[in-house]
């Protein structure tokens, strides 16, 4: 299985949805099609 690469801007925006807008990590991860673990790593 190959790792999917995401653009830096995508990662920044995803993290902002959690840290600045207060959305739950699980919700953002599900909506964007990434794992919650990835969000925590970013």
For 4-35, b/e burial (b = at least 16 CB within 10 A) is eeeeeeebeebeebbeeeeeebeebbeebebe
The verdict on pTM exceeding 0.95 is no
Taking only the tens place, the pLDDT of each residue in 1-40 is 567 899 999 999 999 999 999 999 999 999 999 999 999 9
Q: Where are the domains of the chain?
A: 8-41
Diameter of the chain measured on Cα atoms: 33
């Amino acid at each position: 299985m190959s790792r999917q690469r995401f653009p830096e801007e995508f990662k920044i925006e995803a993290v902002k949805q959690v840290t600045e807008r207060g959305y739950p990590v699980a919700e953002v991860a599900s909506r964007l099609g990434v794992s919650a673990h990835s969000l925590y790593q970013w």
